[in-house]
Structure 1
Amino acid sequence: MPFETKPLAEEPDHIAPDGSEIRVLAGTREAGLAHIRLAPGAVTIAVAHRTVDELWYVVAGQGRIWRRMEGQEEIVTVGPGDSISIPLGTSFQFRADGELPFEAVTATVPPWPGSDEAFAVDGVWPPTF
């Protein structure tokens, strides 16, 4: 796989199964990197992943994320500088609180295989999509 240098696109490359905007960043055979954005006041569809682990680093905005896996469940408030893990099999949902979009850089291991990766689950908030 060749080296890759990729700037953040102004427009999303696609809309994720949860409704958030996705801008694809550099990747390798073993991992993918993307930027997610959720409009102020928006709430995603709750989903879980079939094959990937995700790590997030929040770069802008404020929000809350709900996660549930194997009897563990929590809602945490996050903002710039916070990091989040979403292990394989975790049900999760997030929302953008405040007046700015919620934005994070996300790493997936292995790379995101496509829109069939995420499937809808019951969440804690009504989605806005």
Structure 2
Amino acid sequence: MIIQQLDQQEAFTTADGSTIRSILDATNAPVKNQSLAEASLALGGKTDRHYHKLSEEIYFILEGRASMEVGGVFQTVGPGDAILIPPGAWHQIEALSELRFLCCCAPVYSHEDTYF
């Protein structure tokens, strides 16, 4: 059994500009098919618009509100909302307040699979 504590994970900035803490991924556990991270953006912060050729992503909003764009469709999202981002879909999230969300990727997130 592998258990990771969120507060024990170091934050880093991803290729798209968000600050994340990996909860479980290939860097800290024997994960092969998916990854889970906590991401945060300050008020007004946004990721660079991008897509992933391989990874399917799910964002789950924990705190705050954001404008979410997936494939040219925009919607305001908030706590409890889960957003599916298919492989190949251009996407961007912009914080309308302090924002904290979970990001699940399958296969495992990698900077090399992030395209601008």
Residues 54 and 109, structure 1, Cα contact 8 Å, conserved in 2: yes
Whether 2:12 is the aligned partner of 1:9: answer: no
Please report how far the alpha carbon of residue 26 of structure 1 lies from its aligned counterpart in structure 2 after TM superposition: 2.0
Gaps of 5+ in 1: 121-129
Corresponding residue of 1:111 = 108
- The number of equivalent residue pairs is 111
| Cα distance between partner residues in 1 of 2:76 and 2:66 | 6
Relative to its length, the structure with more strand (as a share) is 1
Q: What root-mean-square deviation, in Å, do the aligned CA atoms of Structure 1 and Structure 2 show?
A: 1.6
TM-score, structure 2 as length reference = 0.87
Q: Residue 91 of structure 2 aligns to which amino acid in structure 1?
A: F
Corresponding residue of 2:38 = 35
| Cα distance between partner residues in 1 of 2:88 and 2:113 | 11
Residues 12 and 21, structure 1, Cα contact 8 Å, conserved in 2: no
Change over 3 Å in CA distance of 1:25–1:93 after alignment to 2: same
Please report how far the alpha carbon of residue 10 of structure 1 lies from its aligned counterpart in structure 2 after TM superposition: 7.0
Please report how far the alpha carbon of residue 46 of structure 1 lies from its aligned counterpart in structure 2 after TM superposition: 0.4
Please report how far the alpha carbon of residue 7 of structure 1 lies from its aligned counterpart in structure 2 after TM superposition: 1.3
Gaps of 5+ in 2: 26-30
Change over 3 Å in CA distance of 1:41–1:11 after alignment to 2: farther
Q: Quick one: percent identity of the two aligned structures? A: 25
The C-alpha deviation readout for 1:46-86, integer Å capped at 9, x for no partner, is 01002100011100011011111xxxx31010010000000
Q: Which has the larger radius of gyration?
A: 1
Q: Residue 5 of structure 1 aligns to which amino acid in structure 2?
A: I
The C-alpha deviation readout for 1:78-100, integer Å capped at 9, x for no partner, is 010000000000000110003xx
Residues 9 and 23, structure 2, Cα contact 8 Å, conserved in 1: no
Corresponding residue of 2:21 = 23
Please report how far the alpha carbon of residue 9 of structure 1 lies from its aligned counterpart in structure 2 after TM superposition: 3.2
| Cα distance between partner residues in 2 of 1:35 and 1:115 | 16
Residues 57 and 85, structure 2, Cα contact 8 Å, conserved in 1: yes
The C-alpha deviation readout for 1:6-60, integer Å capped at 9, x for no partner, is 1113775321111100100124322111111111111221010021000111000
